[in-house]
Structure 1
Amino acid sequence: MTENAWGYRETSGRLEGVDLTGYKVEAEDGSIGKVDKHSDEAGSAYIVVDTGPWIFGKEVLLPAGTVSRIDAAEEKIYVELSKEQIKSAPEFVREDHLDDTGYREQLGSYYGLGPFGGPFVGHM
C-alpha cells in the first residue's frame, strides 16, 4: 500500500526514467487501454489512459497510488481497480483537469486514496 495517492508504491516495480507511454493498462477484470501520458513528479505522479472504444475514446487519469504492479518486460501496468470503478470516476478533461488540484482531490477521494497524502484504503 502507498502512503501517497499521487506516488507509486515501492512494490510496484516502477523504474525511474522508463517511459510508460504506450504501456497497456489492466484493471482487475480486463484491459482498459494504453498510457497516453504519465508523470513521475514527486507527489503528483499519475498515468493518463486512452481507453479507445471501451469508454467511447475518452481518457482517464489514474493516480499512481492505484498502480499495483508494472511489468516492464510485457509493457503492462496493473491497477488495483475494476473497470466499473474507472468508468464511473469523475470525468477527466485533459485541458481542464491535468493540473487542477481540486480535481485531484476529488479523484483521490473517489478512489479511496484520500486527498493528497492519505493512505490507500482499498476499493470503494
Structure 2
Amino acid sequence: MAMTAFAPAITRSREIIATKTAEVALKLVPDVSEQTQENRKYFAKFVSVVGILALMFLLFINTLLAQDAFTLSHLKLEAKMVSDQREAVNRQIDAIAAPENLAKAATALGMKPSETPTFLSLNPPVKPAESVDNG
C-alpha cells in the first residue's frame, strides 16, 4: 500500500483534530448570553451606587471636619481675647495695690501714718532652753 492510499484518512484526521481543538478553545471562553450581560449590568450599577455613596459619605465627613476647624479657630481667638482681658485686669489691680497708691487712698480717707509702728508676730514665743544638770 502506498502512502497515497492513506491520504484521505490523514486529511480527515486533520479535520477532526482541528474541530476538537476549536471545541477545547471555545470551552476556555465562557458562553456570553443575554442573561450574563444583564447580571453584569446590575453588578456595574451596584458598584457605581456603592462608590457614589462612599464619596458622599467622605464629603460629609470632610464637611464636619472643616466645620470643627472653624469652631476651633473661633474658640482659640476667643480664649486669646479673654487672656488679654485678664492680663489688663491684673495690671489694673497691681496699679491700684501699689504702696504709693494705697498711701494716697488712705490719706484721702483721712487716715494718718502711725508715729510708732507696732508689728504683729504670728509665730509662737520661743522658750529659753533650760540648763540640764548632768551630775
Range into which the TM-score falls when normalised by the shorter chain: under 0.3
Bigger RCO of structures 1 and 2 (CA < 8 A, at least 6 apart): 1
TM-score if structure 1 supplies the norm length?
0.17
Instruction: Decide which structure has greater helix share.
Output: 2
TM-score (norm. length: structure 2): 0.16
Richer in strand (by share): 1
Larger Rg: 2
